[in-house]
Amino acid sequence: MNTNTRTLPSIVLVPGHWLGAWAWDQVADELRARGHHVTAVTLPGLDPADPDRASATVEQQADALSAVIGAAGGPVVLVAHSGAGFPTSMLLDRDPAAVARVVYVDSGPAGDGSVLDASLPPTVEEVPLPPFEQLAETASLAGLSEGDLQRFRDRAVPEPGPVVRARLHLDNPARREVPCTLIACSIPTEILIEMARQGHPMMAEVATLRDVDLVDLPTGHWPMWSRPSDLAAAIAGAASR
């Protein structure tokens, strides 16, 4: 028995748009094998069995993360993939002491006033996974097998309209003090940092972080499928800092 596992932080895995906890299965198994207590999250609005899922909000998602983190106990490392950066940023704005470290996987912190798609009409209740040809114009599918893509298509849940339209209101500068790791997959860290310096809307908030580590993991936007072992190792490395 490895007695050192008790000192390892718990890890909470949050998937991006259209995904549930299942998206992390391989990564979660590898992290548990390393001794971590792992919780993978299905955010409000992404449970296909929830009849009210289309009305879920970012506030509800942040509430859910807070509850999961509280139940995990001890120091927690929160891992946010892609669009999960939005509820994660809201959580940290509310309670910067909630986690020991946040790890953004091909994602980053959102700034005050950020919105995923301000043009989405209020009449649109949900946003389904687009055709892969269209998705590939904004997110790299590199490294995904036909099986990965089929599973993605079969299990994807439409993103709630209120989440996509939400404009974040963040006013607690202490959120920027939370230690952070950026795992860059589809865009190298060198380019991400340059984007941050130039004030690019996607990365501008990165320039305000006080304690940030950068990790390159070259692959597409869904490394939990294209490079699960390497992603688990990167997350474990971040959690050990």
Q: Tell me the pLDDT tens digit for each residue of 56-103.
A: 999 999 999 999 999 998 899 999 999 999 999 999 999 999 999 999
- With contact defined as beta carbons under 8 Å apart, do 24 and 52 qualify? no
Model confidence band, residue 220 (pLDDT cutoffs 50, 70, 90): very high
Radius of gyration for the chain, computed over Cα atoms and rounded to the nearest angstrom? 17
Domains, the chain, with CATH or none: 3-239 (3.40.50.1820)
Query: In the numeric block, which tokens belong to residue 78?
Result: 């929160």
- At 201, the pLDDT band (50, 70, 90 cuts) reads confident
**pLDDT (0 to 100) of residue 99:** 98
Q: In this predicted structure, what is the pLDDT of residue 204? A: 93
Looking at residue 80, its pLDDT comes to: 98
Q: What is the arithmetic mean of pLDDT over 41-45?
A: 98
pTM of this prediction exceeds 0.85: yes
Burial classification of residue 241, based on how many CB atoms lie within 10 Å of its CB (0-12 exposed, 13-18 middle, 19 or more buried): exposed
pLDDT band at 142 (very low <50, low <70, confident <90, very high): very high
Compute the CA torsion angle 157, 158, 161, 166 (nearest 10 deg).
60
pLDDT of residue 226: 98
pLDDT for position 202: 85
**pLDDT band at 3; cut points 50, 70, 90:** very low
What is the C-alpha to C-alpha distance for residues 191 and 186, in angstroms, rounded to an integer? 10
